[in-house]
Structure 1
Amino acid sequence: MMDRLFDLARQAAQLEQAWRSKRLARVGDASLKLMRMDAQAYPDEVHAYAEGLLVLDGEMHLNVAGEAVTVSAGQLYMVSAGVSHAVRPDSHGTLLIIDA
C-alpha cells in the first residue's frame, strides 16, 4: 500500500451526495469511509461488525438502541456489532466511519 495524505475537508466538500460514504483506505481489516451529513435523518441500521463514528466537524445526533446520543466535532462514538442505530434530523458536518 502506498503512503498517502488525505485532505478530509476538501474531499468531503467534493462528495456528490450526502449520506453516501466514500471509502478512502483500508487499515488492516478496517475501512475508513468519509461521509457528509446534511441535516436529514438516516434510517435505522444494524451491522454484524463494530463501527466507529468520528465527527470531524459539525454534530451528529443518534438513536442508539433507543437512547439519544449527541456526538460533537472531535468525538468518536463506537457502535457495537448487532446494535441498532439511526441518525436523527439536524445532524450536519463531516463524518469519518471506521468499520471492520
Structure 2
Amino acid sequence: MPLCDLTSLAKALPRAWQSTILGRVGPARVKLLRMDEMAYGEEVHDYNEALLVISGRMMLEVAGQPVTVEAGHLYLVEAGVAHTVLAGSHGSLVIIDVAPEPLTACLP
C-alpha cells in the first residue's frame, strides 16, 4: 500500500464536495474530499460517518446545533442523524463510512 499525501490528493480532486474512495478497511470505506467555501445541503445516511478534518475547518449543523470541526479533529455522525455543511467550510476532509452500530465516544 503506498503512502498517501492527503493534502496533495485533495487539492488535485477535480471538484469540491465530490469524494473519492481511497480504500476499504473491513466494512469501512475511507474517502477523501476537498471542501470549498460553499454550503453543502442536508444529508442523512443509513451508516455511521466519521469526519476527520485534515486541513482547514468544517462548520456543520447537526440536529439543529452548530458544530465546528477544526483541523486534526474528528466528528462522529451516527446513522440517521441529519447534518448540513455550512458556508465557510474549507480544506481537506477524510470520511470513514461504516455500517450502523452504536458509536463509541472519543476517549479523553
Partner residue in 2 for 1:65: 63
SS at match of 1:56: strand
Aligned partners of 2:15 and 2:33: how far apart in 1? 9
Q: How big is the alpha-carbon RMSD for the aligned residues of Structure 1 and Structure 2? A: 0.6
SS at match of 1:54: strand
Q: Give the 4+ runs in structure 1 shifted more than 2 A.
A: none
Aligned partners of 1:26 and 1:66: how far apart in 2? 31
Aligned identity (percent) is 55
Query: How do 1:8-47 and structure 2 match up within 5 A?
Result: 8-47=6-45
Q: Deviations over 1:36-90 (max 9, x none)?
A: 0001000001001100000000000000000000000000000001000000000
TM-score (normalizing by structure 1):
0.96
In the alignment of these two chains, the number of paired residues is 98
Aligned partners of 1:45 and 1:34: how far apart in 2? 17
Q: 1:23, CA displacement in angstroms?
A: 0.4
TM-score (normalizing by structure 2):
0.89
Corresponding letter in the other structure for 1:80: E
List gaps (5 residues or longer) in structure 2. 99-108
Q: 1:4, CA displacement in angstroms?
A: 2.4
List gaps (5 residues or longer) in structure 1. none
